[in-house]
Amino acid sequence: MMRISMSLPKELLNEFDEVTNDRGYNSRSKGIRDALKDYIVRYKWMNEMEGEYIGTLSIVYNPHYMGVMENLNDIQGSFREFINGAMHFHIDKDRVLEIIVVKGDIKTIRDLNEKIMRLQGVEHIKLASTSMKKSLNL
C-alpha cells in the first residue's frame, strides 16, 4: 500500500469522519479507499453509457467566487442545443442551486458535466439521467 497526503477543508473531513463512524468503519483510510473505489466505478459506468439521454444537472456553487457565474453561462451557451431549461435557487447568501435539464447524446451531456465540475467555485454537481430508448414491456 502507498501512503498519500492530502489537504481538505476541516468541515469536509469532519463530515467524512461522521459518515465513516456511522457506517462502522474502523479507520479513515478504509473509508477513503471505499470512497475512491466508488468514484472510479461511477466514472467508468458513466463512460460506458451510450445513446440519447434526458436528465438533470444539479449544481451547487458560490456566486461570490470570481468568474464562476460568467464561466457557467459561457459553458451553458456552448451547449445550448442540449439544454432544455434551467432553474436557479438561492440556498443562502453564499450558495446557489442551479438545475439544468439536458437532452441529447450522453457523451455530450457527460462533457458538459465535466466542464462544469472543473470550475472553481462549484461545490457540487450531480448528473441524474435516463435513456431515451423505449423500454420493452415484458
The predicted model scores a pTM of 0.74
What average pLDDT does the segment 25-33 reach?
Answer: 92
pLDDT in tens, 117-136: 999 999 999 999 888 877 65
Domain ranges for the chain, please list them.
10-47, 51-131
The three cell numbers of residue 87 are 432553474
What average pLDDT does the segment 76-99 reach?
Answer: 96
51-131 to CATH, choices 3.30.70.1150, 3.20.20.10, 3.40.30.10, 1.10.3720.10: 3.30.70.1150
Query: For residues 61 and 96, what is the distance between their CA atoms, to the nearest angstrom?
Result: 5
The three cell numbers of residue 12 are 469536509
The three cell numbers of residue 85 are 431549461
10-47 to CATH, choices 1.10.3470, 1.10.287, 1.10.1220, 3.30.160: 1.10.1220
The H or E element that residue 101 is part of is strand 95-105
